[in-house]
């Protein structure tokens, strides 16, 4: 049986494209082995197990929701009514020019850097 050093010396005598494929195959095999060990360890410890509770279960535990604010008035509902009243749901981008037209624009001066 060959030792590891004899096997490496034998591979060194092969052409470059064969050595390259052996190197990539060895790296892929090592990576697959590490990933397999990690996956087995994760599954066996229950890391991928789903919890029995969900958001719907938590939400159903509360019977009612009470909104507490400084006053109950129609002003508090204005934002919610405005949000619900909008039927246009297409996304859009609005560009607002914040530069004032009354300010004079300063032209950039060219700078010469001597070397």
**What pLDDT, on a 0 to 100 scale, did the predictor assign at position 45?**
82
Q: What is the mean pLDDT of the chain?
A: 75
Which two three-digit tokens encode residue 17?
Answer: 């494209």
Which two three-digit tokens encode residue 70?
Answer: 């400084």
**Residues 6+ positions from 2 with CB-CB distance below 8 Å:** 10
- Of residues 53 and 19, the one with the higher pLDDT is 19
Q: pLDDT tens across 23-72, in order?
A: 999 999 999 999 999 999 888 887 776 665 666 666 665 555 555 555 55
**Residues 6+ positions from 12 with CB-CB distance below 8 Å:** 19
């Amino acid at each position: 049986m060959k030792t590891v050093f004899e096997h490496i010396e034998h591979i060194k005598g092969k052409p470059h494209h064969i050595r390259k494929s052996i190197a990539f195959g060895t790296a892929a095999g090592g990576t697959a082995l590490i990933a397999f060990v990690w996956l087995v360890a994760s599954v066996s410890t229950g890391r991928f197990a789903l919890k029995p509770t969900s958001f719907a279960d938590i939400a159903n535990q509360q019977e009612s929701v009470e909104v507490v604010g400084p006053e109950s008035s129609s002003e508090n509902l204005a934002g919610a009514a405005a949000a619900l009243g909008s039927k246009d749901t297409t996304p859009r981008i609005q560009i607002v020019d914040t530069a004032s037209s009354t300010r004079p624009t300063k032209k950039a001066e060219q700078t010469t850097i001597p070397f």
